[in-house]
Amino acid sequence: MRAPGLAAWLRRIAPARARGAVTVALVSDREIRDLNRRFRGVDTSTDVLSFPNLDPRAPGPLLGEVAIARGVAKRQARAAGHSELTEWRVLALHGLLHLLGYDHERDDGRMLRVERRLRKKGGLREGLIERGRQLSGSGRS
């Protein structure tokens, strides 16, 4: 499935230190669940997963891959009151930040601050971490 304009948008708002290519794959909820189980040991669908390039022999500068679950993104877009493309942007930004080494579960708000600045630059009303905090009151897992 194609995501028109997503790559150009992500390049435009990415932090300066984001050097290298990022692959964004739109996958089924079943595929994301399989990936989540295989790589994180969590047997459930999720919205976005990031896979940093750990192979120094990979051709060219490759930061890694971001997988976005189409069905989860569609449901989240509906709940947030915006388009699927907007949701893909929210998720791609979040995934990119994980590729750059940010970890909102352990970084005392660093990822939240960067995500907030970049999502504003990209014209997004909210970021994934902010949304998770609003829903849970404590933070997104």
pTM: 0.87
Alpha carbon distance 65, 53 (integer Å) = 8
Q: What is the DSSP string of 98-125?
A: HHTT--TTTSTTHHHHHHHHHHHHTT-S
The size of the chain, in residues, is: 141
Q: Are 79 and 68 in contact (CB under 8 A)?
A: no
Q: Tens digit of pLDDT for each residue in 10-21?
A: 989 998 888 888
Residue 18 is predicted with a pLDDT of 84
Sites in the chain below the pLDDT cut of 50: 136-141
Alpha carbon distance 29, 34 (integer Å) = 9
Show the CA angle centred on residue 55, arms to residues 106 and 59, nearest 5°.
125
Q: Tens digit of pLDDT for each residue in 59-81?
A: 668 889 999 999 999 999 999 99
Residue 2 is predicted with a pLDDT of 62
Residue 134 is predicted with a pLDDT of 62
